[in-house]
A and B are shown apart, each in its own frame.
Chain A
């Protein structure tokens, strides 16, 4: 039961950043990302400034650098794409270490890498200091369509249940001598995936019945009191405002 409590990106703590209400942190990170994306790619100093701001947030939240680095793996696909650009790009070329690279491609790669990295680090810091369910409550507070919030909430709750079901199905397959070795085994896996889908769908129906039984009328009642003071809003607002200042000054 309870397969894995080990995929936590949330890092419990009680710092200023942790205590900020989620509905303040979400727009702050979003605003920061917008400023980063809007920065012209030639402004190296501005990007250094943004990195410093994030380092400051990480220090305030007591999130160690290795924690952020390990979780930056999500960015890898973009990195691969970005690294390909100088090779396949067109236009004026420069030669570097025996390779002929496109100047335009290099700029594009730098642009993608630096902006994606800053955005990913900002999101990691958000996720590391905010419980997933608080993030959703914050989103609900910010008037994100309730249906989307509910879907995300159920995903959060049933992820472990479904993974556990998947694990049991794998064990059942393997107990009867099946191991996936080559392509000929794909149909078996595909059928298991289909069965898992049906089971999850049926569970969804039962959960809906359980919700109806307790008076569900289409919207989740707001239970937690998530009020934010104007000081908390100001504090969270520092992140995009500082970034904007960096952009303006440099």
Chain B
């Protein structure tokens, strides 16, 4: 494995270099994306609708294959021969939990991933219970997903990928459609997980709350990369990429607890 080393001498959780992609109809979505996420980091990928966020996410676990450039996860490059391992390492949480939860019960759904990895019996049961406990949904283990509330379904969706013990958790718009309480609960869960997180969103306060560092994807390239606080405190930069803070929201001063 020809992994690129970070200055610290550690393999990054995710490394994307010069990634370009055009859809089959010729629409160019990504024009050379470079990014690198170290192990244990929580990073927000910000960008307006149509910036190519979802396209980028689809490359991270090999659902789309790069037209040009490379993606590697913990040193393992994404290519046809490595897809199985890549999909174990990258846990993708989709925007609509109804897309993600397709089995008749929560237990079977969370077990789906690890069972595909060949796990069976007690080991599988333990893995499932552990993942559900981490998102506080253990009591729903035998319920059908469509009887849960939206916030609960999203938490179970996180558990389905946690059960695969991923190297990096990739969340597509994690806060969408959540009421404020579910939103806070999910934030607490995400903060408690000891796993690398890439959060794709245009919910800037949520990025601020959870991620030290942010990237702005705009026009198919990474337009900015830096501490979330600094990016969000730059109205000109945000305006340039069609991003806006909600009305009445001010970036808290450094050192405010809870951030």
What is A's interface to B at a CB cutoff of 8 Å?
Answer: 1-2, 5, 132-133, 153-154, 156-158, 160-161, 203, 206-207, 209-217, 220-225
Contact = CB atoms under 8 A, between A and B. Distances in A.
A133 B105 contact: yes
Contacts of A215: 84, 87-88, 113, 116-117, 164
A204 B78 CA distance: 25
Contact of A217 (B94, B116, B121, B149): B116
A217 B90 CA distance: 16
Contact of B94 (A156, A206, A216, A224): A206
B94 A210 contact: yes
Interface of B: 58, 61, 63, 84, 87-88, 90, 92, 94, 96, 98-100, 102-105, 107-108, 111-113, 115-117, 121, 124, 144-147, 149-150, 160-161, 164
Nearest to A211: B102
A161 B116 contact: no
A210 B104 contact: no
Contacts of B147: 2, 5
A184 B107 CA distance: 48
B63 A214 contact: no
Nearest to A134: B104
- Interface of A, helix, strand, loop or mixed by DSSP: helix
Most B CB contacts (10 A, CB to CB) among A153, A154, A206, A225 go to A206
Contacts of A217: 84, 116
Contacts of A153: 103-104
A158 B94 CA distance: 17
A2 to B, nearest CB: 6
B116 A157 contact: no
Contact of A214 (B98, B105, B112, B149): B112
Given A213-B63, A214-B161, A215-B88, A157 B104 contact: yes
Given A1-B150, A154-B102, 14 more contacts: A2-B147, A132-B104, A153-B103, A161-B146, A209-B58, A210-B102, A211-B102, A214-B113, A215-B84, A215-B117, A215-B164, A216-B112, A221-B116, A223-B111
Nearest to A160: B146
21 contacts: A1-B149, A1-B150, A2-B147, A153-B103, A154-B102, A157-B144, A158-B98, A160-B146, A161-B146, A206-B96, A206-B99, A210-B92, A213-B63, A214-B87, A214-B112, A215-B113, A215-B116, A217-B116, A221-B111, A223-B107, A223-B108
B35 to A, nearest CB: 20
A220 B108 CA distance: 10
